[in-house]
Amino acid sequence: MLDHSELAQRTREWIEGDPDPATRQELTELLEKEQWEELKERMGGVLEFGTAGIRGAVEAGSNRMNRAVVIRTTAGLADFLRRERSGHVVVGFDARPSSPQFAADTVGVLLAAGIEVSYFPEPVPTPIVAYTARRTGAAAAVVITASHNPPADNGYKVYDSNGAQIIPPVDRAIADAIARVGPAKDVPRVEEATGPDSPARRLDYDEVYAAYRRDVDAVRPRREGSSMVVAYTPIHGVGWKTFQRLVSDAGYPNVEAVAEQRDPDGAFPTVAFPNPEEPGAMDLVQDLGSRIGADLVLANDPDADRLAVSMPAGDGSWKPLTGNQIGVLLADYLLQNWSGTDRPIVINSIVSSPMLRTVADVYGAHFEQTLTGFKWIANAALDLEAQGVGTFVFGYEEALGYTVGGHVRDKDGLSAGLVFMDLAASLRDEGATVSDRMADLYRRAGLWVSTQLSLVRPGTEGVAEIAAAMRRLGETTPTHLDGREVVSVRDFRTGAEERPRWLPAADLVEMTLEGGGRVLVRPSGTEPKLKIYVDLPGEAEGDIVRQESETRAAADRIAAATAEFIGL
C-alpha cells in the first residue's frame, strides 16, 4: 500500500510525462487538495492490458483511460508489431466524446513508428472494423470503444493478424512492451494524424459496406425481404446508419428507429447504462414497437456488436428473449437451412447454454465450447476448420453476442439482427411466431433454462473482495445448493495443459449438479462484477411456459445459494 508521500511522488512523475494539459491539471488539483483516496484509485495501479485490451473511466491517471495511457499503449503495440508482424493496421472508433482524440493519438503513434495505417474518419460499428481488418489482411486492428459500458468509460480493443481479438501469448507480449514504454510525452507521434495532410489512408465506408453486405448475403438462408414491421434502436450508438442500409438493401422497408436514440451521442442522454441487458434500456424501443404495431423489436449496443430481441407478449407488452434463446434460435435456423457439403460447426462460450449441444445433435453438427469471449470462439473456429472438422456456421455467447459465418471474426450485432429478421419473416410466412418456434425447439432439443446473478463490487476494495471470493471457492466447494447435490467440480485455474487452447487457464469454477444442471462462477473481464451462471434442464412436455418459469425459479434459487456460500 502506497503512503501519501509515495503516492504524491508517483503522481508528480505521471503529470510530468503527460502530454495533455487538461489531465495534467486534473491531477495537479487533486494533489493540491490532498484527495488521497481519489489519487489512490487513479494512481495506485495501471490500467492492465489483457485479452480485452484496456477499458476504464476517462479521467487523469495511470489507472484510467486518457491520452497518456492510449499513447503509451499504442507505443507498446507498435513495438510488438515491428518485431512480430508485418503489414498495415486498421483503426476505428465509436461515438464517445473522447474517441476521436484517442483514435488520432493511436494513428499518430503508429505512423511515427513507421507503420502503415488505414483508418475510418467517422465513428463506425466495431464489427465493420473487425471485418475490414480480416478482409484487407491487416497485421492488427484497433477500435477505440467502451462498447456497452457506462457513459464515463472508454476502451482500446486490439485484433490480431487473423482478424480475431488477441489471445495469449500475444496479449502478454504487448503488455510487456507497454511496460517498457517511457513517459507518454516522449513517445514520437505524428501531429494532426487524422487531418487532411495525414499519410494515413482514409477508408471509404461505402466501399467497405458494399463488400460487407455481399459477404453477409452469402451466409443468409433467406434471400428475400418482408413487409414485417420492426422497431429498432442503436441506444445512441453507431449502429443505425449501417443497419438501416443493410436491412433496406435486404428488402425490409418497414424498420423504424427510436428518434431519441437514433443518432450517435456518447452522453447517452436517455439511458443510465447503454446496455440492452440493463433494466430500462429497451423501454423506448418497446414503446415505439407498440405504437407502430411492430412484429419484432431489435436493439444493438452502442458499438453494434451485440443484439437484443423482444417479442410481442400477446397482452400489449413485450417479452425480451434471453441471449441463450436468441443463440439457439439462430443456430437452429442456420442448421436447418445448411446446404454445405462439410459438417457444420457451432460454438458457444462455456457460460452459455448447454442447449446448443443438443440443438447441434439434432442436425449432426459439430459442437464446441470455449472460454468466455469471442476471441476464443473465433480462434476455435479457425482451428477446427484447419483440422478439417467442418465449416464454421455460427457462434454465440449469452451476453447478446452472435456471429453468423466467418466474415467477421468477432460478434456482429448487425448481421445477426438481419438474420434474426429473416428467421422471424420465414416463420411469419408459415403463420407461426418466434415463440412457437422456441416451444417447438424445446420439444425437439430439450428445455434448458439459464439465469445469471451479477454481484457488483466497484473500486480497488471491490477487486479484492471478488478475488477473495474466488479463492474461497478454490479452497472449499458446497456439497449442496438449494437442496441439489454438487456431484463434481472443475476449476479452470488448473489443468490447462490437458485442454485445447480455447479452454486455457482461467479464473472460473464449474460445479455440476445432480440431474445435469451446472453452476459457473467467474469475475467479469470488463466490469467490477462477480458473475454466477446457472443452467438447468427442465421438462419439455405439457405447459412449456409453466415448465420454463418453474425451472427458472429453481435456477434463481441456486444462484442465490451460491452467492451466499461464497460470502458476497
In this predicted model, what pLDDT tens digit does every residue of 405-422 receive, in sequence order?
999 999 999 999 999 999
- Kindly report the pTM of this predicted structure: 0.94
User: Residue 457: its pLDDT value, please?
Assistant: 87
User: Residue 257: its pLDDT value, please?
Assistant: 98
Question: Of the residues 62, 98, 118, 147, which is catalytic?
Answer: 147
Q: Whole-angstrom Cα distance, residue 553 to residue 555?
A: 5
Cis peptide before 478 (omega within 30 of 0): no
Ranges of each domain in the chain: 49-203, 218-445, 448-566
- Nearest residue to 129 (alpha-carbon basis) of 247, 377, 304, 348: 304
Q: Whole-angstrom Cα distance, residue 76 to residue 351?
A: 32
526, pLDDT greater than 70: no
- Nearest residue to 348 (alpha-carbon basis) of 365, 373, 329, 382: 373
Q: Whole-angstrom Cα distance, residue 177 to residue 182?
A: 11
Residues present in the chain in total: 568
For the stretch 531-547, pLDDT in tens is 999 999 998 888 888 99
CATH of domain 218-445: 3.40.120.10
316, pLDDT greater than 90: no
| Range 160-184 burial, b when 16+ CB lie within 10 A, else e | bbebbbbbeebbebbbebbeebeeb
1, pLDDT greater than 70: no
For the stretch 35-94, pLDDT in tens is 999 999 999 899 989 877 999 999 999 999 999 999 999 999 999 999 999 999 999 999
CATH architecture of 448-566: 2-Layer Sandwich (3.30)
| pLDDT more than 70, % of the chain | 100
Kindly state the average pLDDT of the residues 114-118: 98
For the stretch 19-32, pLDDT in tens is 999 999 999 999 99
Query: How, if at all, do strands 140-144 and 89-93 pair?
Result: parallel
Q: Is 14 left (phi over 0), alpha (psi -120 to 50) or beta?
A: alpha
User: Residue 51: its pLDDT value, please?
Assistant: 74
User: Helix 4-17 and helix 36-43: axis angle, to 10°?
Assistant: 60
Q: Do domains 218-445 and 448-566 have the same CATH topology?
A: no
Does domain 49-203 correspond to CATH entry 3.30.1600.10? no
User: Residue 34: its pLDDT value, please?
Assistant: 93
For the stretch 102-111, pLDDT in tens is 999 999 999 9
Q: All 3 cell numbers of residue 302? A: 452502442
User: Residue 382: its pLDDT value, please?
Assistant: 98
Instruction: Give the sign of the dihedral formed by CA 228, CA 233, CA 239, CA 241.
Output: positive
Q: Whole-angstrom Cα distance, residue 6 to residue 488?
A: 47
Q: What is the DSSP string of 437-497?
A: HHHHHHHHH-EEEEEEEEEE--HHHHHHHHHHHHHHHHH---SEETTEEEEEEEETTS-GG
What rounded mean pLDDT belongs to the chain? 95
Instruction: Give the sign of the dihedral formed by CA 496, CA 499, CA 504, CA 505.
Output: negative
Count CB-CB contacts under 10 A for residue 54: 22
* Selected residue with higher pLDDT from 259 and 477: 259
User: Residue 250: its pLDDT value, please?
Assistant: 98
- In the block, cell 438501416 appears at 244
Name beta bridge partners: 153: 57
Q: Are 514 and 381 in contact (CB under 8 A)?
A: no
Active site residue 161: no
